[in-house]
Structure 1
């Protein structure tokens, strides 16, 4: 495929549509960018050649224009010297050069058109390439974010299914069980303490009653006045 055929295909391509249909958009945009870069290099080389050819035609045109002036002066000189024969030959050479100049003028116009078209093509391809590179940058960023999310999900899943996580769950349940037992033990201990206090109070009351009864008996034994 020639350079200009590739250029037309690239410029007319709908990048968004092509990427939407691609199985691997990132790979496709990478290949497209590479193709654009290679085509751009070839277009610039072609433009440089066209500019060089245009410059060569311009130089030839300037040189022939100078020669036309020279042959006209020679024809005048020959006439002034009475050498019409030489004047005719000088004018014939001038006419031949004039025809060549007309041909070169056409070539120069064509060269200008080629250079102008090449420069337009380069500008269009550079704009397309810039758009493709931006899409490539965005795809790479999206791919990176997707890979990061995937890695995070995998790490979470691995942590949830790991022995360490399971052991942590068992350890947490064991602590909860121990806390519950401690709370029950505390309640039982509190009840036992209250019961013991009540019995101690009863025992103190009984001692007082026994001592009171003893005093009463002693008083009854004493002689009355």
Structure 2
């Protein structure tokens, strides 16, 4: 196969594939049906033309037959008048007319045969058209049912072009949603870690650490003040002095007022250093928590 032949074959195959994809069976069937009806109409028109020609020949034949009768009468009249020459001429014309009549009869018979054949072809073609019409409607109904079934199956399986577009749209929506969710979570995480505040603040890392240390020192100082007020300083329990503490003085005054004895009668309890240390640790734990 030469290059031109191969090229022509490829082009024809491509065109045929395009036509197959673009072809609508319903339109093709309707077009074929109309073509058959046009052919039937042509056959009917041919029968009508043939019949017209036959009728013209039949009319011409009748006229010749009338002339034959006329020439026959002329020959008889000439014989009665002893005019054999006129009778001979009339008989010669009669013979010519009869010869023409025989020729016309042959042509009329031929046209009648053609007419009968065309009528049979017309009847057969009309019958085939009716059969094709029934089959056409059946095929169209089957095609429409198959097309509807295909659309339903494509919709159920998502294999159709429209469903594929819908599937891609859903995928894009899911991707965008996931991206937005991830971005939102990242923003929350950055906000919790203080990145946004750092970005808006003029302090650097050293300033922030120093500020945290100063804040921690203020808490420690406040804790020491609180422990001092509660008599639980880290310096240990205060040693006993020769003088009375304020609490002992208040206690002696209260006992004196109640008449229950003097301060000599009340013994000052010894302070256990381990208990103080345990209570101090408990207080530190509460402050840290």
TM-score by length of 2: 0.45
Map of 2:108 onto structure 1: 108
Residues 51 and 115 of structure 1 are in contact (CA less than 8 Å); yes or no, is this contact kept in structure 2?
Answer: yes
The Cα of 1:152 is off from its aligned counterpart by: 2.7
Map of 2:267 onto structure 1: none
The Cα of 1:35 is off from its aligned counterpart by: 2.4
Map of 2:120 onto structure 1: 120
Map of 2:58 onto structure 1: 58
Matches within 5 A, 1:133-148: 133-148=133-148
Question: Higher helix fraction: Structure 1 or Structure 2?
Answer: 1
Please give the per-residue CA displacement for 1:92-129, whole angstroms capped at 9, x wherever unaligned.
10011010001011011001101101100101111111
Matches within 5 A, 1:4-83: 26=25, 28-83=28-83
The Cα of 1:157 is off from its aligned counterpart by: 4.6
Map of 2:244 onto structure 1: none
The Cα of 1:69 is off from its aligned counterpart by: 0.6
For 2:120 and 2:32, locate their aligned partners in 1 and report how far apart those are by CA, in whole Å.
Answer: 20
The Cα of 1:142 is off from its aligned counterpart by: 0.6
The Cα of 1:80 is off from its aligned counterpart by: 0.4
The Cα of 1:154 is off from its aligned counterpart by: 4.0
For 1:79 and 1:136, locate their aligned partners in 2 and report how far apart those are by CA, in whole Å.
Answer: 75
Alpha carbons of structure 1 residues 136 and 25: separation in structure 2 relative to 1, 3 Å: farther
Please give the per-residue CA displacement for 1:147-171, whole angstroms capped at 9, x wherever unaligned.
2223333444569x798xxxxxxxx
For 1:28 and 1:149, locate their aligned partners in 2 and report how far apart those are by CA, in whole Å.
Answer: 21
Map of 1:177 onto structure 2: none
Alpha carbons of structure 1 residues 134 and 107: separation in structure 2 relative to 1, 3 Å: same
Question: Whose RCO is larger (CA < 8 A, sep 6+)?
Answer: 1
Map of 1:187 onto structure 2: none
For 1:76 and 1:110, locate their aligned partners in 2 and report how far apart those are by CA, in whole Å.
Answer: 35
Alpha carbons of structure 1 residues 128 and 25: separation in structure 2 relative to 1, 3 Å: farther
Map of 2:284 onto structure 1: none
The Cα of 1:130 is off from its aligned counterpart by: 1.3
Greater gyration radius = 2
Aligned length: 142
Residues 29 and 132 of structure 1 are in contact (CA less than 8 Å); yes or no, is this contact kept in structure 2?
Answer: no
Secondary structure in 1 matching 2:127:
helix
Name whichever of 130-139 and 96-105 sits farther off.
130-139
- RMSD of aligned alpha carbons: 2.6
Name whichever of 24-33 and 73-82 sits farther off.
24-33
In structure 2, the gaps of 5 or more residues are 1-19, 171-289
Map of 2:197 onto structure 1: none
For 1:80 and 1:142, locate their aligned partners in 2 and report how far apart those are by CA, in whole Å.
Answer: 86
Secondary structure in 1 matching 2:82:
coil
